[in-house]
A = this chain, B = another copy of it.
Amino acid sequence: MTEIGIGIIGGGYMGKAHAVAMSAVGAVFDTALRPRLEMVCATNLASAEKYRAAYGFARACDDWRTLVDDPRVEAIIIASPQETHRAIAEAAFALNKPVFCEKPLGASLEDSRAMVAAAQGQISMTGFNYIRTPASQFARQLVADGAIGDVIWFRGEHTEDFYADPSLPPTWRAHGDANGCMGDLAPHMVNGALALVGPITSLCAEVETVHKDRPGGAVTNDDQGQFMCRFENGAMGHLFFSRVAHGRKMGYAYEITGTKGAIRFDQEDQNALWLYQMDEPEATRGFRKILTGPAHPDYAPFCQGPGHGTGYQDQIIIEARDFLQAIATRKEVWPTFRDGMLVNQIIAAAMASATTKSWINVADV
A residues 1-59 near B (Cβ < 8 Å) are 1, 13, 16-17, 19-20, 23-24, 26-28, 30, 34, 53-56
Inter-chain CA distance A179–B311, complex, in Å, is 29
Q: Which residues of B contact A250 (CB under 8 A)?
A: 291, 305-309
Q: Which B residue sits closest to A256, measured CB to CB? A: B246
- Map CB proximity to B onto A198-242 as digits: 1 under 8 Å, 0 otherwise: 000000101010110000000000001011100000001010101
Inter-chain CA distance A358–B309, complex, in Å, is 38
Determine whether A364 belongs to the interface, using a CB cutoff of 8 Å to chain B. Answer: no
> Given the known A-B contacts A238-B226, A302-B313, are A284 and B291 also in contact in the complex, defined by CB atoms under 8 Å?
no
Stretch in A80-88, A102-110, A268-276, A327-335 touching the partner: A268-276
Contact B309 A270 (CB under 8 A): yes
Cβ-neighbour of A17 out of B165, B293, B303, B357 (below 8 A): B303
Determine whether A262 belongs to the interface, using a CB cutoff of 8 Å to chain B. Answer: yes
A140 to chain B, nearest CB (A): 13
Inter-chain CA distance A249–B271, complex, in Å, is 12
- Map CB proximity to B onto A333-350 as digits: 1 under 8 Å, 0 otherwise: 000000000000000000
Q: Which residues of B contact A296 (CB under 8 A)?
A: 283
Determine whether A278 belongs to the interface, using a CB cutoff of 8 Å to chain B. Answer: yes
Contact A20 B24 (CB under 8 A): yes
Contact B210 A152 (CB under 8 A): yes
Inter-chain CA distance A56–B16, complex, in Å, is 21
Q: Which B residue sits closest to A225, measured CB to CB? A: B236
Inter-chain CA distance A13–B305, complex, in Å, is 9
Determine whether A121 belongs to the interface, using a CB cutoff of 8 Å to chain B. Answer: no
A1 to chain B, nearest CB (A): 6
Given contacts A155-B240, A162-B305, 20 further A-B contacts (CB under 8 A): A19-B27, A23-B23, A23-B26, A24-B313, A30-B54, A34-B56, A153-B245, A208-B236, A246-B259, A247-B261, A247-B276, A267-B307, A267-B309, A270-B271, A275-B286, A284-B288, A284-B290, A286-B291, A302-B312, A310-B313
Q: Which residues of A are interface residues toward B (Cβ below 8 A)? A: 1, 13, 16-17, 19-20, 23-24, 26-28, 30, 34, 53-56, 138, 147-148, 152-153, 155, 160, 162, 164-166, 204, 206, 208, 210-211, 224, 226-228, 236, 238, 240, 242, 244-251, 257-262, 264, 267-272, 275-276, 278, 280-291, 293, 295-296, 302-314, 357-359
**3 tightest CB-CB pairs across the interface, nearest first?**
A249-B307, A311-B311, A247-B276
